[in-house]
Amino acid sequence: MALRALRGASQLLRQASVIRHTQQRAASSHSENTNTFIKEALAELEYPEKLQRLLLTPQREVLVELVITKDDGQIESFNAYRVQHDDSRGPYKGGLRYHPQVDLDDVRSLASLMTWKTAVMDIPFGGAKGGVTVDPKKLSERELEKLTRKLVQAIKDVIGPQEDIPAPDMNTDGRVMSWFFDEYTKFEGFSPAVVTGKPVQLHGSLGREAATGRGTVFATRELLKHSHAGTIASKSFVIQGFGNVGAWAAEIFHEQGGKVLAASDAFGATRNEKGLDIPALRKHVGTGAKLADFPGGEAMDKESVLYEACDVLVPAAIGNVITSENANKLNCQYVVEAANGPTTPNGDKILRNRGITVLPDIYTNGGGVTVSFFEWVQNLQNFRWEEEEVNRRLDKAMTDAFAAIWEVHNQKNIPLRVAAFHVALQRVTRAHVHRGFD
């Protein structure tokens, strides 16, 4: 009824010359790419067609329209999505992104990835993802808050601490999660566990901000150790994407003696063959200055950073950056996928043929959801852990998860990506089987 009324109201508003944001559906194939990787693992497992459909099909897709009054009195509407892929192992879990190119295909793909990510990390969550088709840079802080509260009102019946727990994602942060928590609490009472990624001062977890980047470093350490390839201190790194994840990973690589030769963001790139001073670079960027203008490096084309010679390339920005068109140009031994879906299936094939080892995203960036789980547990307990304990538990989770992937990789002589999906699919399948199908 509420959704029907919202649509009816929206139609009337459009007749009154309302500005409407329509969804720009790009020729995206994120969902198709994800399913291609999954099907490769399914072929190894020899699952029947019916079981494959069960594992690939989302359990629920919610599409809503959010209407807000802007500061200037104009009314705008925005498309929003929440895809809940699988909850056989626990409540749905996944981020919420605000981006002008968010579409249903994109959200479906990321929801599926969350199912396999939580399974690989062996934490008791399922997979979900959400998004609003909006350019947050074009909204004021007040307008963003209105949009967030409207979203909570629209989907509050299908989320909750034991149902579906959102988290920050692209262009969302602790501030957005605070609004989300506050709005949900108005309807359901005090519920800090309804979202993760909140500020520490508002029931967030210590260590959460650095978790994905720190987990990436733990993952790289395990890969090098099991490959008998030395330590982080003996390796050079290139970071494609100097946002939260890339910056934290770069800083911890730097702390552990690794040499970060180049880094890029959405606007430019910088390099230094002797190694960038990462704390100084972070301080430089933190002042609002352009990364490419860093005095301790040489400006370079941001697209070329992928082709810089290094031991370990860390794509930590957006998806589909390593493709069939550029995979032959990479000049590294390892690709550590800190971003979601940075490598397309065709790009992945080329890297395999070239002998470049790829550490897959569903494991590499699992540190974020792992510490989100820790935050959720702390909220349910109404008890805060020390940061040292959070980091110690994260280290163990990343180490244990890699050991399971490496064992399958060795036993079956399959790539690490296929091995990771193999582990995840088996865990989700066993949960379904144990719970029954009626």
| Cα angle value 348/351/354 (rounded, 5°) | 155
Query: How distant, in Å, are the alpha carbons of 118, 312, 404 from that of 401?
Result: 10, 20, 5
Which entry of 129, 146, 150, 302 is annotated as an active-site residue?
Answer: 129
Instruction: Indicate the burial class of 59 (C-beta count within 10 angstroms; 0-12, 13-18, 19 or more).
Output: middle
Give the helix/strand (H/E) hosting 36.
helix 30-45
Tell the burial category of 235 from Cβ atoms under 10 Å away from its Cβ (0-12, 13-18, 19+): buried
Q: Is 329 a catalytic residue?
A: no
Contact 122, 427 (CB under 8 A): yes
Burial of 218 (0-12, 13-18, 19+ CB in 10 A): buried
For residues 46 and 101, what is the distance between their CA atoms, to the nearest angstrom? Answer: 36
Beta carbons of 91 and 161 less than 8 angstroms apart: yes
Report CA torsion sign: 190, 193, 197, 203: positive
CB burial of residue 49 (10 Å; 0-12, 13-18, 19+): exposed
Is there a contact between 62 and 158 (Cβ–Cβ < 8 Å)?
A: yes
Residue 366, φ and ψ in degrees, nearest 5: -70, -5
Say if residues 169 and 96 touch (Cβ distance below 8 Å). Answer: yes
Nearest to 151 by CA among 217, 66, 241: 66
* Nearest residue to 61 via CA among 153, 137, 158: 158
The two three-digit tokens of residue 88, written as one number: 């056989």
* Cα separation values, 311 from 110, 136, 187, 258, 300, Å: 28, 36, 52, 10, 19
Which tokens in the block code for residue 318? 């957006």
Q: Could you list the active site residues?
A: 129
